[in-house]
Amino acid sequence: MVLSNPQIVDCHVHFGDVEDADLILSIMRDAGFKRMNLLSIISPIRVNFNPEEMYMKADHPGSFYIFGGLDYSAVLLGLGKVEPSLTEQDDTMIKIGFDGVKMVEGKPVARKLLMKPFDSDFYKEYFEYLETLQFPLLFHVNDPEEFWDPEKIPEWAKQRGWYYDETYPSKEDLYMEVEKVLENCPKLKVIFAHFYFLSGDLERASSLLESYKNVYLDITP
């Protein structure tokens, strides 16, 4: 069956430079997308890219959803407590007009940078608050399993610093942390990026979707 008007929304587009606005708009037009969801990720250099997403949504009404990134400046500066708190940041994003939160914090390089387990007290109130609000979270957790294998990792990934030795959490460690989050917050509205890196384990993916009705998997390559 061919859909005459599929109304496709690309839910996973990283955007960090307003100079690329015309490029993004041309891609959306050529691909026939109804909308795009622009994602802001954390950055140890410039906090996140929330201002760029805000600009695009304001300048092109009806064309974009935007998911904001969190501010970990206090953690990265060694100050410990996050100010404002993660829940306060959620409130601010909602007031501004963000449609959800983007976390790349489950990518091993980011997880190692922050050193904050997802099932720790650091995130507990934050995830519970997202669940209460039903504010969507697009969550990057893990990477392809070959990134932990020096013999199998692609050269392009190695050049980007994505080879994970024993100083990084294992793939299963990250899954277990997130599983505990879901056990505590079973109604958390979360989209796991890149099919949660479970394309090679469809049984596990199916079990996850059956167990948690608010869990979704995106199919971004």
Give per-residue pLDDT as tens, 89-144: 999 999 999 999 999 999 999 999 999 999 999 999 999 999 999 999 999 999 99
Tokens of 111: 């997880």
Q: Which helix (H) or strand (E) holds 105?
A: strand 100-106
Give per-residue pLDDT as tens, 33-59: 999 999 999 998 999 999 999 999 999
Would you place residue 145 in the very low, low, confident or very high pLDDT band (cuts 50, 70, 90)? very high
Whole-number pLDDT of residue 2? 53
Summary mean pLDDT of the chain: 96
Give per-residue pLDDT as tens, 60-100: 999 999 999 999 999 998 887 888 999 999 999 999 999 99
Rounded to whole angstroms, what are the CA distances from 170 to 82, 103, 176? Answer: 26, 18, 10
pLDDT at position 1 over 70:
no
Ordered structural domains, the chain, with CATH: 9-217 (3.20.20.140)
Rounded distance between C-alpha atoms, residue 108 and residue 113, angstroms: 8
Whole-number pLDDT of residue 58? 98
Residue 126: which of 172, 75, 160 has the closest Cα? 75
Average pLDDT over residues 210-214: 98
Q: Which residues contact 191 (CB under 8 A, 6 or more apart)?
A: 11, 136, 137, 138, 139, 215, 216, 217, 218
Residue 93: which of 126, 118, 59, 124 has the closest Cα? 126
Report the helix count and the strand count for the chain, using DSSP H and E.
9, 7
Rounded distance between C-alpha atoms, residue 79 and residue 62, angstroms: 39
Whole-number pLDDT of residue 219? 95
